Chain A
Amino acid sequence: MTGKALLRIDNISKNFGGLKAVADFTLDVMEGSITSLIGPNGAGKTTVFNLVTGIYSPDTGQVVFDGKNITGIQPHAVVEAGIARTFQTLRLFENLTCFENVVSGQHCRCRSGVIACLLNTKSRREEDARAFNFAEECMRLMGIWEFRDELAKNLSYGDRRRLEIARALASRPKLLILDEPAGGLNENESDELMDKIRQIRDSGITVFLIEHDMHVVMGISDVVAVMEYGRKIAEGTPEEVQRNPDVIEAYLGSEEDEELLATLKEGAMEEVTQEAAQEAGEAV
């Protein structure tokens, strides 16, 4: 981690009708870090991602990436600037092959226009070859090269998640934004995912993620930010956040996230399970 903020989210707000989805949210994502955004369901995490990646434009505030103001620019321009993302509910090109899916990331790194494509110029062919090679690299990194000619819709859920990350990596991002990458994965798969995310970070890409799986969040994050009702209520190292009374309060307030609360108060959780196990043992 260097001391420089790669992404500065500065005081952004977004309203939907009367609902304040995000309110005066500020966060710096440090270059070379793995930063996590957590919070109860409906806290506005995905909206923050959508505001950063240009799917929505903020009502107030600004987003600065790598020294450039990218507030309100179109999503494809955000990718070009160096931010790639995945979606909470996967958005793959289901009827295209996995390789085609990943090559899409390279689109914004290529320049051939209509004339070059019609004339099939040497520079166009070389550009495509480079794009294909890089796509191959990304697929090998995510361990899905063997599925290159399969249609995306035929892959298993875990492989589809990895395919989406490979597609995002193919655009050569400086910042990778992952929306619940471990969602729907089993424990083995999410451990593997953590390794991959670390590997991606070590290759020089900053990672910014939303995750509900506290095992993953606490395991890999350098910085954790916590949201509630569209506001940031805490920020710090995983240990700091786990001890923060506001965070515990926030999770106590929402019954939906009992599981999260339980993981936050890991010690207490263990006791409970032990008690339950004892009771079960006594019953037998």
Chain B
Amino acid sequence: MVFFLNQMINGLTVGAVYALVALGYTMVYGVMRLINFAHGEFFMIGSYLGYTTLVMVLADSGLPLWLMLLIATAASTVGVAILGVSVEQVAYRPLRKSGRLAAVVSALGVSQFLQNAAMLVWGARYQAYPPWSAPEATWRVASVNISFMQVLIMAVSLLLMVGLYMFVQRTTAGTAIRATAIDHDTARLMGINVDHVIRLIFIIGPALGAIAGVLLGLYYRQIHFSVGWSYGLKAFTAAILGGIGNIPGAMLGGLLLGILEMLGAGYISAAWKDVMVFLILILLLIFRPTGLLGERVAEKV
């Protein structure tokens, strides 16, 4: 039972990270019908930017740790949001009128480019967040271990997800996003600037990814240029699991996938956990491509 609860907490922690990254996939897909393969790289670069800010800029600043972390996260978020907007401008905007597969190939190209750019900048080896950067406090509640970082990750993710949900449901900009997701042309007729909406999506999505990147870096300490790809693929699976294009779906899918993965690793086999994740993805796409919360839409011939 204790083991089960520990795995659940581990799962919720990783799942919260997946959920944050999945939101980026799902928002871009919802509005542009594009699988943004570069999104995992935003997450990875966010992690590296946070690391660089901490190690190169803030290490000897003498500021309190919470402030350093806040500044590093903010710097990383802003940097990645700028990157996201630029990628959209350069690699996706010119292809909006071409077929969706052209945009998918372009997205893959961006992903490869960013991955290798990160490798050239930060090196091919693992980099580690410095030991002082992550608070190590751990609590023991009824013989179940919960670390401060786990609580932090879950709390921050929950806050961001609720915030995003409110933003999309309650504000004018959010309504514009929802309208654009339904139909670009109609949205345009209603006076919505679709280009602005897409730009907004490419600020919010990468920003959430960057925050997730910093949190994950602090949690596992180690970061590598390939994490964007592996976490990206899992977050995408989470988005599909919840029903791609659906914001609460991405949150639910992320948490569920994290729990499934950790329980699978704990009770079945750690070496096979990624195979299980991909198997879930494939079975989902075959049997229920609309995910848990998605709606089935008949395709018009």
Contacts and interface: CB of A to CB of B under 8 A. Distances in A.
B301 A16 contact: no
Contacts of B298: 16-17
Interface string B266-301: 000000000000000000000000000000001001
A16 B298 CA distance: 8
A55 B298 CA distance: 12
Interface residues of B, number: 2
A175 B23 CA distance: 51
Contacts of B301: 46, 50, 55, 87
Interface residues of A, number: 6
Contacts, number: 6
B300 to A, nearest CB: 10
A91 to B, nearest CB: 9
A87 B301 CA distance: 9
Interface in A72-87: 87
A159 B122 CA distance: 59
Contacts of A46: 301
Interface string A11-26: 0000011000000000
B186 to A, nearest CB: 19
A271 B298 CA distance: 45
A63 to B, nearest CB: 17
Contacts of A50: 301
Contacts of A16: 298
B296 to A, nearest CB: 8
B84 to A, nearest CB: 33
A141 to B, nearest CB: 27
Interface string A52-95: 00010000000000000000000000000000000100000000
Interface of B: 298, 301
6 contacts: A16-B298, A17-B298, A46-B301, A50-B301, A55-B301, A87-B301
Return the 4 tightest CB-CB contacts between A and B, nearest first. Answer: A16-B298, A55-B301, A50-B301, A87-B301
